[in-house]
Structure 1
Amino acid sequence: MAFSARTAAAAAVALAVAGLGATWYFSQSAADDAFAQCRRGVAPAAGQIGGAFTLVNQDGKTVTDADVITKPSLVYFGYTYCPDVCPLDNARNAEAVTLLDERGYDVQPVFISVDTDRDTPETMREFAAMLHPKMIGLTGSPEQISAASKAYRTYFKVQDPGDPYTLIDHSTQSYLVFPKLGFVEFFNRDTTAEEMTESVACFVDAWKAQQ
């Protein structure tokens, strides 16, 4: 996807309308936040990002968030036909997962497609397998994808519906999600694999300390 200034502006407007941006976060004392030592700023508003979803995995099986988020996960929304942003972001997430594996942290990358017309389970399986053996690829019906996107407060818009070569504008954050607990942090595109590794490791350590 060519993430142009126009696209970025449109996404910013959509996020603002959805009540995102700065409102994702609110001030919270360190004593109330088990992940305070891991955060770059203030804590996320509980329950505002993430939640239940029902999608179709790369094997064609209908799954829920409980089936997918069985370990710390990095969740990303995009599409396989994306010419630049999605492959780079997913590759970065996959590299971070490999670095975490080397340090003894079991984290899985999850790729949710917003392209219901072209991204079949088979397509998602091939794409995920190229990037990392642990990557889970998810697709679904327009209604299922829309519900998952709304749950994570993401933005996407098909530029030319019906065009088999259409591009899709979409937000590009990656979300760190834990089983049962849910969303705890997000990472922007400019976060490196090494930076993500350090941050995720801190969150996983803090999460395990609560078990």
Structure 2
Amino acid sequence: MSLTLFRKILWVLAGFAALAFVWHLLWADRASDRTGIDSDPPFAAEFELTDHRGMVRTEDDFAGRWMLVFFGFSNCPDVCPTTLSEVAAVMEGLGDDAARVQPIFITIDPERDTPEVLAQYVPLFDAATIGLTGTPGQIAETSETFPIFYERIEEAAAPNGYTMGHTSHLFLFDPEAGFANSWPYGTRAEEILADLRKRI
């Protein structure tokens, strides 16, 4: 293969990668617009899922604490790690009040995100974060309760040949598991922290 042809192939691949990145960001925004996040009447957090230590968890396990809940998947290239990093910054900023808030990451990709995978993934951001997974049916039922949108998207270059489009909002639930607020993707930790401090 000539050097010129090799360079052309590299430029084409780079172009596809850039397009895929932009498309993913636009898809996340569009997916979040298709949810009823600001629905009336308000909704409550309800789930029965398995955490990254293999224990079954429900919303009752976190009664009395505020919950920061984000739906995503461990193979997410940008939205999920960015949001989880912001959550980690919020938890650090809370100081002694951090014990009053429980960050939770719920996968929308249970096929790949087993408890073992989540056990490796969630501690990368914050040790207090709990990763939750379950059967496809359990995840579907949970998504309807919150509600959030997600969809499998075939993509040859992604791990196992697919990626996920999903709601990119971060949810806040009060100590009775009632919906309190949500923030769209890109909201800075400082803004989330200021809101939390007023509430707790």
Cα drift, residue 180 of structure 1: 1.9
Structure 1 residues 181 and 129: CA distance shift in structure 2, 3 A: closer
Q: 1: distance between equivalents of 2:168 and 2:63?
A: 20
Question: Is 2:188 the partner of 1:200?
Answer: no
Paired amino acid for 1:128: V
- What value does the CA root-mean-square deviation take over the aligned residues? 2.3
Which residues of structure 2 form unaligned runs of 5+? 1-19
Matched, 1:174 2:174: no
Q: How far off its partner does 1:190 sit?
A: 2.6
- Residue 105 of structure 2 is aligned to residue 111 of structure 1: yes
Identity of aligned residues (%): 27
Instruction: Please name the residue that 1:84 is paired with.
Output: 78
Determine the C-alpha separation between the residues in 2 that align with 1:61 and 1:161. 32
User: Residue 105 of structure 1 contacts residue 201 of structure 1 at CA under 8 Å; is this kept in 2?
Assistant: no
Shift of 1:60: 1.2
TM-score by length of 1: 0.75
What corresponds to 1:145 in structure 2? 139
Could you say which structure has the larger radius of gyration?
2
Answer whether contact 1:50 1:153 (CA < 8 A) is retained: no
Which residue among 93, 100, 103 is the counterpart of 2:94?
100
Q: Distance in 1 between matches of 2:164 and 2:54?
A: 23
Structure-to-structure mapping, 1:1-211, within 5 angstroms: 2=21, 3-6=24-27, 8-9=29-30, 11-12=32-33, 14-15=34-35, 20=36, 24=38, 45-47=40-42, 49-68=43-62, 70-101=64-95, 104-106=97-99, 107-160=101-154, 164-204=160-200
- Over 3 Å counting, the alpha-carbon distance change for 1:144 and 1:69 in structure 2 is farther
Q: Any conservation in 2 of the 1:72–1:179 contact (CA below 8 Å)?
A: yes
**1:64, CA displacement in angstroms?**
1.2
Contact 1:57 1:136 in 2 (8 A): yes
SS at match of 1:89: helix
- Could you tell me which residue of structure 2 aligns to residue 31 of structure 1? none
Question: Which structure 1 residue ranges, 5 or more long, are not aligned?
Answer: 26-44, 205-211
The size of the alignment, in residue pairs, is 176
**Would you tell me which structure has more helix in proportion to its own residues?**
2
Check the 8 A contact 2:48/2:138 in 1, yes or no: yes
